[in-house]
Structure 1
């Protein structure tokens, strides 16, 4: 699967794969499943009139994380988290596609700080009884690039950072658990070229391990479309993404499988693209997709590559 790729190829591939999946799925969001042999195209359109290759909120929220990691900031430090909240708050002022839960959190801030954001996320959770949408999982990929050393404890530090960033907008434990599992799986794929989504189970609370094992095993024996109806929920989104990657033969195939599932296509494909890109590497991304890939704040694929390389090279 990854015989001819390097760790750097796979690290960059995780970021590019996520952005490409986001842009590919943008034109199909909220639509029904798309069966074979109908082609899946990087066509833009959709509910917000995206241009071909334009990424959505999934990648827009990931960009400030990537920028912080490229600068060498500690992703789990409170000052870094403050910066993320500030960047997201500014982005959300004009963005057309902020998720319902995320918008509610960001619009209810008393200040653009991590502490205020966590408090707002808790209030949203308490008022609705749930807060495990897929909006924190969709943006989590760049965190992995800060934790690629082979040192003991790197997985644990990555897990803590993933949960800290998730908690800024998503209070429910399932959201943080999903980010931990996905980040650890992506890190393992980047370093070793192997798919192992069960690897992060020991980093979850003991009571959650059995539940997540059952969820992941269910995804191993299903197609992404099995989770279409509820893929706005972080659990179903992760299951759909895992199903797409596990049965894929290439990066393009993984993203197409994710988009075919329908409904929240951009997010499922962005999530799938992070792991698939880590497995297959940046050179596996179709050149015609890379050439048109772009989005907020005026960035293109080459900018994502440069920041990813800086993030990896500075570690």
Structure 2
């Protein structure tokens, strides 16, 4: 693996954590609320003066990256992809009492049968909802799947289904993971039409959000739309907007988190894509080294990189 590829791997992984940590300061505010709290914009961790999660401090990341870490720990421990092992890490993470966890994720992981048959539990929770649950708790953590080698589509889909069984969720995870994989290993930006065709394999409704993301005007995404802020396709559209429009990491991420909505979860995959596109070296050190768990993350990601190689 050459240095450029390594830089992109680290960019994707750290970009996820940075997007999560910065976006936390605007989580569930609408666009006007963000402007009110941050008259000069939310651009630095030190700007953060609000969090729906009162125990979180500037430089902390949230469940989005903590669940991604669970996948990394499993890969580091086993040296290969093991879906059941990832599920056990998810369950243990929940038992430690994270400061933030999505309603759908908690509902699945708390089921006593999850340890032995996680996919069946996830499917059952989704079906009992009338097949309506399509939260963004799968796509928020999927960035690490994009830096792996092998059948990325299949692996991303399987890990998504561990908590989010809806095909809209699965399609979101597959698209973000393949976008990152192509950026990292092929230095290739997937086109709108390529992403549309990929989405159609999973759900026809994905196309609308892909085409919205093709518009350079980020406001058309309505990331703060009431009642839809935690929707997987909203987060997918933010991630794809980050693929096609920004010319650098910082301004791309800042544009997304300042739109509000589920800003940390929108920021996580968007940050991962920006990091994979522009590289770790383009992410300001105030963002990376300013993460409160920076040294531990760096060790985890370095170990994963050695396994990938």
* TM value normalised by structure 1: 0.84
Residue of structure 2 in register with 1:123 after alignment: 124
Q: How many residues align?
A: 293
Residue 88 of structure 1 aligns to a residue whose secondary structure is: helix
Residue of structure 1 in register with 2:69 after alignment: 63
Q: Does 1:87 align with 2:82?
A: no
Q: In the TM superposition, what are the counterparts of 1:242-261 in structure 2 within 5 Å?
A: 242-261=240-259
Shift of the alpha carbon at 1:5?
Answer: 6.8
Q: 1:232 to 1:78 in 2, by over 3 A?
A: closer
Shift of the alpha carbon at 1:290?
Answer: 1.8
Distance 1:180 1:162 in 2: 5
Among 171, 174, 192, the alignment partner of 1:180 is: 174
Residue of structure 1 in register with 2:53 after alignment: 48
Shift of the alpha carbon at 1:58?
Answer: 0.4
Distance 1:138 1:220 in 2: 20
Residue of structure 2 in register with 1:151 after alignment: none
Shift of the alpha carbon at 1:193?
Answer: 2.8
Q: In the TM superposition, what are the counterparts of 1:1-315 in structure 2 within 5 Å?
A: 6-33=4-31, 34=34, 38-40=40-42, 41-43=44-46, 44=48, 45-49=50-54, 50-71=56-77, 73-75=79-81, 77-91=82-96, 94-113=97-116, 115=117, 117-129=118-130, 130-147=132-149, 154=150, 157-196=151-190, 198=192, 199=194, 206=201, 208=203, 211-225=205-219, 226-228=221-223, 229=225, 230-294=228-292, 300-315=293-308
Distance 1:60 1:134 in 2: 15
- The CA RMSD over aligned residues, in Å, is 2.4
Shift of the alpha carbon at 1:48?
Answer: 1.1
What do the CA deviations read for 1:244-273 (whole angstroms, capped 9, x no partner)?
442212111121011011110000011101
Q: Is residue 5–residue 280 contact of structure 1 (8 Å, CA) maintained in 2?
A: no
Shift of the alpha carbon at 1:68?
Answer: 2.1
Q: 1:80 to 1:28 in 2, by over 3 A?
A: same
Distance 2:41 2:113 in 1: 46
Q: 1:200 to 1:304 in 2, by over 3 A?
A: farther
Q: Is residue 27–residue 263 contact of structure 2 (8 Å, CA) maintained in 1?
A: yes
